[in-house]
Structure 1
Amino acid sequence: MNTTLKKLKNISSENCITIIMNSHRTKPGYLKDELTLKNLIKEAENRLNENTVKKEADALVDKLQKLANDIDHSHNLDSLMLFVNKDTAKVVKLPIEVTDRVIIDNNFATRDLVRAMHIETNYFVLVLSQEKVRLIEAFNDKVVQEFDAPFPMENTFPMNKPEVTVSSRKTNLIAEFFNQVDKAVNLIRKENPLPVLICTVEENYAEYLKIADEKHSIFTTYLNKNRIAETDHAIVTEAYKIVETYKAKRNKERKAELDKAISENKFLSNTYDIYKAINEGRIQTLFIEEGLFQPAIITKDDVVYVSDFQRNDSNVIDDVYDELIEMNMRYGGDVVFMPQGKLDRFNGFGAITRY
């Protein structure tokens, strides 16, 4: 997801179409997803026809429809995103709920990808034993996928030979096996650098940490017990209890950053002031409540909110918050999504300045 976000957020061109919709994992829900997507593509087509040359609009709609036709809805997660412009055609499936909408702008609307990475918790579970290792990608308490090739990895070292019964020799062979596992995990993490929660017994956890190349990516706690034979769902259900505790601690720390910035007068809540500060490279962190969307017009003197009925106008940004998040990320800033009601006194949106 991180790789996809990096690619999409750097794309800028006319008519970047983002279609975002909730989807379903099981019957009968996913049987309706094709119709929902068809209706959203029709909405995109109508908006393109209002503001775009017909030949270009037809080409983009054709690209959307071809992309949609390739989707196997029986393998949907909880939401679906389509990204299309003249050079791009990309589908992303996410295990989070979203607000169904169509955005047509000069950039793709990647806010839900950002939200998925920040407010939700995407991680790997390394199910570790001395004989076999599995790797599962999880999102909160849901299984995204269990990896194959090279997982599951089997220990092929001759652990049962008489000469291996010597404790030091056995320890060395286990370390070598774990080292092979660690290299395979980090190869996958190179494309998708998620944190790793280890599921194993205490002895194996300690030995694995000795050989791990990227200890900073491994949770400082672990899921205790040999669960190598359990289902992926059962493992992730237990793993998330640990991850949830970590997430609560992280959210508390980010909230403390916000409170400290307010006391030090390093906090902005006016949207135009934040827009100017982003362009000056002064914003470190944006704070936004979940579910907050706002069409707007940005001028050199102001950010003017408009009604949802005006969002199709050619000079209107579909969601000004998404636009500001994108801008700030290009300057190296980050974003924190807060539960609804946590930023009431700032109308749901604010920023910490660097100085």
Structure 2
Amino acid sequence: MEKTIIDNRVLTGEELIRLVQKEKGNICISIIVPTHKLSPERRVDRLQVEKAVMEAKKYLSYNYGKEEIKPLQQSIDELFGQVDFNHNSEGIGLYVSANIKELVQFHFPVREKVIINRSFEIRDLLYQAYYSLPYYTLLLTEKEARLFGGRLNSLSEIKDNDFPKIYVDDYEYARPSRGSSSVGNAFVREFEREKSQLEEIRFQHFSEAVDDGLKHYLTNHNIPLIIAGAKKDLSYFKMVNHHNKNIISELPGNYSHITTTELGKMTFELLRSFMDQSKQQLITDFEEKIGQGRGITGVPEIWKAAKEGNALKLLVEKDFSRPGFLTEKNEYNLHSQSPLKPHQVLADAINDLMEIVLEKNGQVILLENGTLQAHQRIGLITRY
């Protein structure tokens, strides 16, 4: 997810998720509304967000004391005033509590939700956090190499002692003197061939220098790198570079004149495709773990394992939710139907389940709807 600012500190998506988890027990307001990128469609966005804001404020007024909700309503209004409706993404999230006031742009379709509870609605934050993996984009041209740091569709150019790296072609030669036409033409052809070979060698040396500069950023094989440029330049770079394991995709073409914003949109699509492939591998791994006794399906069974601290990776379809019920003094057994004994009602037991996994240092991955249909829409890879 995009970087956000709280108390003048820049937070990544993962840090924001950890922060909202700490608010559990306070009044937590989650307002999530779909928006539109195109001008004709986004005219209604302001009205839709304003309607959701009014719904949240009305609920607060009916259910809580005036003094308790006054700062919360003020924070909601301040966030609404910060929304730039001229540059929408695919969704907007307003997250407000006593200690948090955050506006998030979502880069994937969302469903409208207005949820006021004792914890935040975190599934959209988790879904986007998966794609907010930091990455680098290397743009190669005949004149220079530029490096960008990226999160989602936002790129920021790196300018230091290593980048941008300028390619200097200081090859000098004397024009061939006039002689007979046959000798002169042969000389020119040989000269041009040698000049082309020398230029190729020089660009390979340049590519080696670029590759050497990357070692300060690609400190391990898990940092994704996208390379963009003419096919010839990409070919030279791949011949000499030592970071093939980092390269997740290529963007062939001349991009020397496009804006950083345009480049960011294209590279993010490549990153998203790469991350989607990783999701498919997670499903395969989970199905293998079932055969090994370390894969669990079924919400009650997964709930019990999570409470016991045995949740390594929880896989959940993005919009899967269901209520649950807990009897007194037995928080390990989740009931799918209301029991006769005194009990607690969980409006969305799946959201509570995700929070439990995260609190116990497990991982939660939101998958596309339908991808876990054969496993009741949810699965758990256990620690042991």
- After superposition, the C-alpha distances for 1:315-337 in whole angstroms (9 at most, x for unaligned) are 65453222222321333322343
Match of 1:310 in 2: none
One-letter amino acid of the counterpart of residue 285, structure 2: E
Alpha-carbon distance in structure 1 between the residues aligned to 2:85 and 2:218? 31
Alpha-carbon distance in structure 2 between the residues aligned to 1:96 and 1:129? 32
Alpha-carbon distance in structure 1 between the residues aligned to 2:82 and 2:276? 38
Match of 2:321 in 1: 293
Contact 1:119 1:336 in 2 (8 A): no
Secondary structure in structure 1 of the residue aligned to 2:370: coil
Structure 1 residues 63 and 227: alpha-carbon distance in aligned structure 2, compared to 1, 3 A threshold: closer
Alpha-carbon distance in structure 1 between the residues aligned to 2:32 and 2:223? 24
Contact 2:306 2:356 in 1 (8 A): yes
Match of 2:235 in 1: 202
Match of 1:303 in 2: 334
Secondary structure in structure 1 of the residue aligned to 2:44: helix
Match of 2:90 in 1: 78
Match of 1:341 in 2: 370
Match of 1:326 in 2: 355
Shift of 1:123: 5.5
Contact 2:33 2:111 in 1 (8 A): yes
Alpha-carbon distance in structure 1 between the residues aligned to 2:239 and 2:78? 50
Contact 2:94 2:103 in 1 (8 A): yes
Structure 1 residues 350 and 82: alpha-carbon distance in aligned structure 2, compared to 1, 3 A threshold: same
- After superposition, the C-alpha distances for 1:39-71 in whole angstroms (9 at most, x for unaligned) are 212222233234322211121011101111111
One-letter amino acid of the counterpart of residue 76, structure 1: N
Listed as ranges, the matches of 1:1-355 within 5 Å are 1=1, 3-11=12-20, 12-13=22-23, 14-118=26-130, 124-129=136-141, 131-132=143-144, 133=146, 135=148, 137=150, 144-148=153-157, 150=159, 154-156=164-166, 158-160=168-170, 174-177=207-210, 179-180=212-213, 183=216, 195-200=224-229, 201-207=234-240, 209-210=241-242, 217-219=246-248, 221-229=249-257, 233=262, 240=269, 244=273, 246-247=274-275, 249-299=277-327, 300-301=330-331, 302-304=333-335, 317-355=346-384
One-letter amino acid of the counterpart of residue 84, structure 1: V
Alpha-carbon distance in structure 2 between the residues aligned to 1:64 and 1:236? 30
Identity among equivalent positions (%) equals: 20
Shift of 1:226: 4.7
One-letter amino acid of the counterpart of residue 334, structure 1: Q
Kindly report structure 1 stretches of 4+ aligned residues shifted beyond 6 Å. 119-122, 165-170
Contact 2:35 2:42 in 1 (8 A): yes
Structure 1 residues 292 and 171: alpha-carbon distance in aligned structure 2, compared to 1, 3 A threshold: same
Shift of 1:230: 5.4
Alpha-carbon distance in structure 1 between the residues aligned to 2:246 and 2:345? 41
Contact 2:30 2:93 in 1 (8 A): yes
Deviates more, 1:265-274 or 1:277-286: 265-274
Alpha-carbon distance in structure 1 between the residues aligned to 2:347 and 2:143? 53
Alpha-carbon distance in structure 2 between the residues aligned to 1:235 and 1:106? 37
Secondary structure in structure 2 of the residue aligned to 1:203: helix
Shift of 1:177: 4.7
Alpha-carbon distance in structure 2 between the residues aligned to 1:43 and 1:56? 17
Structure 1 vs Structure 2 CA RMSD: 3.8
- After superposition, the C-alpha distances for 1:169-213 in whole angstroms (9 at most, x for unaligned) are 775555445555665x669x9xxx972211232112344x33x6x
- Taking structure 2 as the reference length, the TM-score comes to 0.71
Structure 1 residues 105 and 304: alpha-carbon distance in aligned structure 2, compared to 1, 3 A threshold: farther
Shift of 1:18: 1.4
Shift of 1:86: 1.2
Contact 2:137 2:267 in 1 (8 A): no
Structure 1 residues 236 and 38: alpha-carbon distance in aligned structure 2, compared to 1, 3 A threshold: closer
Structure 1 residues 225 and 155: alpha-carbon distance in aligned structure 2, compared to 1, 3 A threshold: same
Alpha-carbon distance in structure 2 between the residues aligned to 1:238 and 1:70? 27
Secondary structure in structure 2 of the residue aligned to 1:92: strand
Shift of 1:73: 0.9
Contact 2:154 2:265 in 1 (8 A): no
Alpha-carbon distance in structure 1 between the residues aligned to 2:223 and 2:110? 22
Contact 2:28 2:95 in 1 (8 A): yes
Structure 1 residues 256 and 120: alpha-carbon distance in aligned structure 2, compared to 1, 3 A threshold: farther
Structure 1 residues 162 and 338: alpha-carbon distance in aligned structure 2, compared to 1, 3 A threshold: same
Deviates more, 1:227-236 or 1:257-266: 227-236
Structure 1 residues 205 and 240: alpha-carbon distance in aligned structure 2, compared to 1, 3 A threshold: farther
One-letter amino acid of the counterpart of residue 225, structure 2: V
**Structure 2 unaligned spans of 5+:** 3-11, 174-197, 339-343
